[in-house]
Chains A and B, each alone.
Chain A
Amino acid sequence: MSDSKAIFLKDAAVNAADGDQRAFIRKALGGYYTNRDLQKARYRDWERARDAASLAKWSAVNDLANVLEKFTANFERNGGVVHWARDAAEARAIILKIAEDAKAKAIVKSKCMTSEEIHLNDALEKAGYGVVESDLGEFIQQLRGEAPYHFVFPCMHVKREAISELFTKHLGTAPTDSPEELTMIARRHLRQLYVDADIGITGANFLVAETGQISITENEGNARLTAALPRIHIALSGIEKVVNKLDDLSVLLPMLATAGAGQPMTCYNTLYSGPRKKGECDGPEEFHIVLLDNARTRLLADPEQRDALHCIRCGACLNVCPIFKNIGGLAYGTTYQGPIGSVITPHLRGLKQWNHLSGASSLCGACTDACPVRIDLHHHLLHNRRNAAKESPTLFDRVFHHGFNFVIKRPWLFATGGRIFRATLPLLQKLPLPYMGAGMKTRDLPKAPSQSFRDQWKHQNV
């Protein structure tokens, strides 16, 4: 068993048994469902809008080289600097070099999952920079010393009392149980940090090839401030975020907000095309973009699952996933939690170590229905299972399934085996058999009938 699987099994078991925490998560998502449905109802045809969103991403991903070339040419024409990183280490090195050249001291970040993916904060802190996450949820998780729980709602599992204690401990503020007051504490604390920071680091939700702009989606205004006040703006983005046309955003931005947060649009959807231009009064002097591969091209090379690169990181698949809701986001041990994380992590970080996430699904398909860009999520979990069985078969699985197959390809053996199975079921339930023992721990089996269907059918129809 891989380490990551052992940790997963342990954490998932603990969390799945924590009824209070599970109820807290379900309650927190309640408002999301209501608002999402209200917003979806405003679409004159949500299903067809999903088609349009899916096609916009499909056409860019399947022409990635050309679209990226166009994006970077336009980005440079606008006065930005493009950097390429094959992997996480290269991306960290590029950002460290920019900070060093700028003689920076303080860095403010807005929410960027790609930076979590490359463990950027650790690297910057080790190099002696002060790094502050400015998104409220990320700020709270940074103070807690914990990874984001959900890649859109980073601290949705933390109760207000815990946040109040955290702020008292780190910021010296008086305890309060009001989410509003807690938000204002963070607001006051972070404002001066934006003003003082030398570098602002953001992610990017979309890279627009046609215009060389990057698009950032947020609600709080922290990304706006991060890209407005510091002298240098660095955006870190996966290469798959590119879209062909500015016009594609007319579908993608509203759908991202509706699917992800139940909003018509998030509060701020901002397009940046370079550093401060001549005649503009503020904005950074330098604008860098770091374009990261980090095994995305490995996923690209799998045409069956290439659509996973359509992902716009809205988090809708997490919000509807019964696995996520019951085990929580931290148990995954991945940057990207939930169904999309279970699909892509084996490609990004190794199938052998991460295939258990694809196994940990009832394949209910709620994720696939929720995905605004129509990623075939739950079927890809099946594809990962198949690939893993082929790549690194386990002896137990081979024996079990071939044994089962040996029985079911012989109807007489199946019937005889079934008869024995039914007759000895009360006894079998007491034995520590693989699968059955675990299944029976919390659930009863129906009383076995004395005759199978095929026996009764034979008697009825002689």
Chain B
Amino acid sequence: MRVSLFVPCFVDQLTPKVGLATAKVLKRLGHEVEFRSAQTCCGQPSFNSGQWDVAREAAIRALEVFRGAEVVVGPSGSCVAMMRNFYPELLKGTPHAAEADDLAARTFEFSEFLVKKLGVTDVGAKFAKKVTYHDGCHALRELRLKEEPRQLLRAVKGLELIETDEGDTCCGFGGLFSAKFPMISTAMVQVKGGALARTGADFVVSSDPSCLLQIGGWLSREGKPILPLHIAEVLANDA
């Protein structure tokens, strides 16, 4: 299959290794991977801030960027939810509505693509570490993905998966929310980050790199001995 990568803007700039790992896993499974460099941001910050006219422009650009792509795969539940669920809502009643629905049907979150579209759970990864999993809210509640990433992690050789209490609790990121209401966002990551740290895992793994920015940022500031890691990075590890 020819996979067109959808790399979130902040992954592009701040954690490019997540994008590279995603490509590596897909290539290892025998797929052709492309990156269309006209892509930038999906428009979610503006959408979530109520600036739907601005977000609509971003959505229309994304339709153009990914026009003709066989499948679009992104390593972020949040950004994929934007394309899958919110582009159709944004473009409802416009001439772009049909194309938005079409793109939504061709766009997948990384773990969803592997498990549900390709039917693969064992990607041949090795990772002899204790990890705990953080469900990003968009993956969990907008895309309804809960078991898929866990199935992938359980198939990784040597990996021990530990669940947390506060399992489905939000990390408090919420995009600009974390900066507009920093006190609430911090209180939330104290709850979530505290629970993750209590598991005694070496790594907190998630399919959402934005949550990992928030959780990792707090864990780092608090000096907790648990590191953030994207699920693609775990699955890319085969040595």
Direct A–B contact in complex, judged by CB atoms less than 8 Å apart: yes
Tell me the minimal C-beta distance from B64 to chain A in angstroms: 11
- B218 and A443 form a contact (CB under 8 A): yes
With beta carbons under 8 angstroms apart, the residue of B43, B46, B137, B140 that contacts A362 is: B137
A338 CA to B213 CA, complexed, in Å: 26
A16 CA to B182 CA, complexed, in Å: 10
Check if B96 is an interface residue, CB within 8 A of chain A.
no
With beta carbons under 8 angstroms apart, the residue of A386, A414, A445, A458 that contacts B50 is: A386
Check if B12 is an interface residue, CB within 8 A of chain A.
yes
A448 CA to B11 CA, complexed, in Å: 11
Q: List the A side residues contacting B46 at CB < 8 Å.
A: 401, 404-405
- A326 and B188 form a contact (CB under 8 A): yes
CB contact under 8 A between A364 and B137, given known A401-B49, A435-B179: yes
Tell me the minimal C-beta distance from B57 to chain A in angstroms: 6
Binary contact track B211-228/A, C-beta < 8 Å → 1, others 0: 001101110110000000
A13 CA to B37 CA, complexed, in Å: 41
Check if B41 is an interface residue, CB within 8 A of chain A.
yes
Which chain A residues in 201-217 approach chain B with CB under 8 Å? none
Check if B69 is an interface residue, CB within 8 A of chain A.
no
Binary contact track A307-335/B, C-beta < 8 Å → 1, others 0: 00000000000000011011100000000
- A388 and B141 form a contact (CB under 8 A): no
Which chain B residues in 7-24 approach chain A with CB under 8 Å? 7, 9, 11-17, 19-20, 23
Q: List the B side residues contacting A385 at CB < 8 Å.
A: 48-50
- A363 and B48 form a contact (CB under 8 A): yes
Q: List the A side residues contacting B182 at CB < 8 Å.
A: 438-439, 441-442
Binary contact track A405-438/B, C-beta < 8 Å → 1, others 0: 1011101001000100110000000000011101
- A365 and B141 form a contact (CB under 8 A): yes
- B48 and A382 form a contact (CB under 8 A): yes
Tell me the minimal C-beta distance from B151 to chain A in angstroms: 22
Binary contact track B18-46/A, C-beta < 8 Å → 1, others 0: 01100100000000000101111101011
A438 CA to B19 CA, complexed, in Å: 28
CB contact under 8 A between A421 and B13, given known A12-B184, A364-B137: yes
With beta carbons under 8 angstroms apart, the residue of B13, B39, B181 that contacts A360 is: B181
Partner-binding segment picked from B118-126, B153-161, B170-178: B170-178
Among residues of B, the one whose C-beta sits closest to the C-beta of A451 is B16
Q: List the A side residues contacting B9 at CB < 8 Å.
A: 408, 414
Interface size on A, residues (CB 8 A): 67
Q: List the A side residues contacting B184 at CB < 8 Å.
A: 12, 16, 323, 326-327, 360
- A442 and B218 form a contact (CB under 8 A): yes
Check if B100 is an interface residue, CB within 8 A of chain A.
no
Q: List the A side residues contacting B137 at CB < 8 Å.
A: 362-366
- A397 and B51 form a contact (CB under 8 A): yes
Check if B187 is an interface residue, CB within 8 A of chain A.
yes
A405 CA to B45 CA, complexed, in Å: 10
Tell me the minimal C-beta distance from B31 to chain A in angstroms: 15
CB contact under 8 A between A362 and B14, given known A442-B218, A445-B217, A454-B37: no
Q: List the A side residues contacting B37 at CB < 8 Å.
A: 411, 454, 457-458
Tell me the minimal C-beta distance from A246 to chain B in angstroms: 35
Check if B70 is an interface residue, CB within 8 A of chain A.
no
- B20 and A456 form a contact (CB under 8 A): yes
Binary contact track A326-358/B, C-beta < 8 Å → 1, others 0: 110000000000000000000000000000000
A326 CA to B35 CA, complexed, in Å: 41
For B38, B54, B174, the residue with the greatest tally of chain A CB atoms inside 10 Å of its CB is B54
A450 CA to B170 CA, complexed, in Å: 31
Check if B52 is an interface residue, CB within 8 A of chain A.
yes
- A444 and B220 form a contact (CB under 8 A): yes
- B13 and A443 form a contact (CB under 8 A): no
For B23, B43, B186, B214, the residue with the greatest tally of chain A CB atoms inside 10 Å of its CB is B186
- B14 and A457 form a contact (CB under 8 A): no
Tell me the minimal C-beta distance from A183 to chain B in angstroms: 30
Check if A402 is an interface residue, CB within 8 A of chain B.
yes
A368 CA to B142 CA, complexed, in Å: 11
With A365-B140, A408-B40, A445-B14 given, can you name 19 additional A-B contacts, CB distance below 8 Å? Answer: A322-B169, A360-B180, A362-B185, A364-B170, A366-B137, A366-B168, A368-B141, A405-B58, A414-B41, A442-B182, A443-B217, A443-B220, A445-B217, A446-B217, A448-B14, A452-B12, A454-B35, A457-B23, A460-B20
Residues of A within 8 A of B (CB): 9, 12-13, 16-17, 19, 22, 26, 322-323, 325-327, 359-366, 368-369, 382, 384-390, 397-398, 401-402, 404-405, 407-409, 411, 414, 418, 421-422, 434-436, 438-439, 441-446, 448-449, 451-454, 456-458, 460-461
List 18 interface pairs A-B (beta carbons < 8 Å), by A numbering: A325-B191, A326-B184, A326-B191, A360-B177, A362-B137, A366-B168, A401-B45, A401-B51, A404-B45, A408-B9, A436-B179, A441-B186, A443-B189, A443-B217, A444-B216, A449-B14, A451-B16, A453-B16
